[in-house]
């Protein structure tokens, strides 16, 4: 029997609406820029996202129950210090102690296992000053891109330790948005941080997307077989501005139309169909805020259509996998 193609769903940005906080905090700190490009079109009117600046726990519980029933696996972000509002091992502004405890329980008991848990990295907004416990007036990815390997690894390890402390057992790193520095240095920093904070020597990071090439393979960045160490750069096989962004404000984005990009109703076309046909892996991503859709959950309705079609038409050809499993599959091909 032919080996099935690994398929994984990546959920970025939980538990907050980072597209709201990044715009708001940049403006409050005097470092905002004009909204340009594909993402700029979506986030320019960021004030209209205020109703969903914190995505409620009942949505994550609903997502977890659906993922379990549908057999979906992948990777799920949990920010250690969401938008700099506080660390999840202590308190986070906007959450009562009971709400924060409930959120962590959902992730720990309902998502951990089928999903790898990663930080993305500290705040997914402005950079976090670990010593002063406050935001720096610079976007997190830009600050990270200016650091040396040691400083970058320390920053990553600090974020990982917060997740470790609340029992989330992180297995890799997610980079928010972009990284303007050296990728090899970044991979070495990931390995150093994972070994130091988690005792893990085989790991991954998620940063990049590939919207057109087939296949859209992930890449082995570190492979020291003698030491038993590896780092795999996981690539999402869809466009960075995934179709669910159309539903961000809740007043647009038809679930059926958004689903067509991934897989058509008859299962014969769509980006996921092409990825599977090419030999895979078939990794794709969504964002908490694009699924919540300002409370309307249009993006989530569309995702459910996508997964139903995948399971119906491609179920005998794919294997739902965690991202760590995709990383191991990728490493074996080298």
- The mean predicted confidence, pLDDT, of the chain is 96
Question: Which residue segment(s) compose the domain that 182 sits in?
Answer: 5-333
How far apart are the C-alpha atoms of 11 and 288, rounded to whole Å?
7
Segment 72-113, tens digit of pLDDT: 999 999 999 999 999 999 999 999 999 999 999 999 999 999
Q: Which residues contact 109 (CB under 8 A, 6 or more apart)?
A: none
Spatial CA neighbour of 309 closest among 12, 72, 68: 72
Give the three-state DSSP class for 129. strand
* Average pLDDT of span 157-168: 98
DSSP conformation class of 282: E
Candidate from 10-19, 34-43, 279-288 with smallest mean pLDDT: 34-43
Dihedral sign for Cα atoms in the order 314, 320, 326, 330: negative
Please, which pLDDT band fits residue 2 given cuts at 50, 70 and 90?
low
57-70 and 97-106 helices, crossing angle to 10°: 10
Q: Element (H or E) spanning 137, and its range?
A: strand 134-139
Structural domains in the chain (count): 1
CB atoms within 10 A of CB 104: 19
Q: Which residues contact 170 (CB under 8 A, 6 or more apart)?
A: 116, 117, 118, 119, 160, 163, 164, 198
CATH number for the domain including 161?
A: 3.20.20.370
pTM of the model as a whole: 0.97
DSSP conformation class of 109: I
Backbone angle region of 122, left / alpha / beta, with phi > 0 → left and psi within -120 to 50 → alpha: alpha
pLDDT for position 1: 47
Q: Which residues contact 71 (CB under 8 A, 6 or more apart)?
A: 311, 320
DSSP 259-270: HHHH--TTSS-S
Asked whether the predicted pLDDT for residue 230 surpasses 70, the reply is yes
């Amino acid at each position: 029997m032919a080996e099935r193609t690994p398929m994984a769903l990546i959920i970025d940005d939980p538990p907050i609406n980072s597209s709201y906080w990044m715009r708001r905090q940049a403006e409050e700190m005097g470092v905002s820029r004009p909204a340009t490009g594909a993402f700029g079109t979506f986030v320019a009117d960021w004030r209209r996202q205020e109703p969903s600046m914190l995505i409620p726990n009942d949505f994550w519980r609903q997502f977890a129950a659906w993922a379990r029933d549908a057999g979906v696996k992948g990777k799920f972000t949990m920010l250690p210090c969401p938008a700099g509002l506080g660390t999840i091992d202590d308190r986070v502004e906007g959450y009562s102690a009971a709400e924060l405890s409930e959120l962590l329980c959902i992730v720990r008991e309902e998502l951990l296992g089928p999903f790898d848990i990663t930080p993305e990295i500290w705040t997914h907004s402005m950079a976090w000053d670990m010593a002063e416990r406050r935001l720096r007036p610079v976007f997190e990815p830009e600050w990270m891109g200016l650091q040396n390997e040691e400083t970058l690894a320390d920053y990553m390890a600090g974020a990982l330790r917060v997740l470790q402390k609340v029992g989330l057992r992180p297995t890799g790193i997610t980079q928010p948005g972009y990284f303007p520095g050296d990728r090899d240095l970044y991979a070495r920093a990931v390995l150093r941080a994972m070994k130091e904070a988690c005792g893990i020597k085989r790991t991954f990071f998620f940063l990049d997307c590939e919207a057109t090439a087939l296949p859209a393979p992930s890449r082995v960045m570190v492979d020291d077989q003698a030491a038993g160490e590896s780092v795999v750069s996981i690539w999402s096989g869809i466009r960075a501005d995934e179709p669910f962004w159309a539903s961000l404000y809740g007043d647009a984005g038809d679930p059926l139309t958004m689903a067509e990009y991934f897989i058509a109703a008859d299962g014969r076309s769509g980006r996921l169909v092409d990825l599977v046909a090419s030999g895979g892996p078939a990794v794709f991503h969504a964002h908490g805020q694009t699924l919540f859709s300002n409370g309307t959950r249009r993006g989530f309705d569309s995702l459910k259509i996508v997964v139903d079609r995948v399971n119906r038409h491609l179920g005998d050809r794919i294997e739902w996998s965690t991202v760590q499993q995709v990383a191991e599959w990728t490493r074996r091909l080298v």
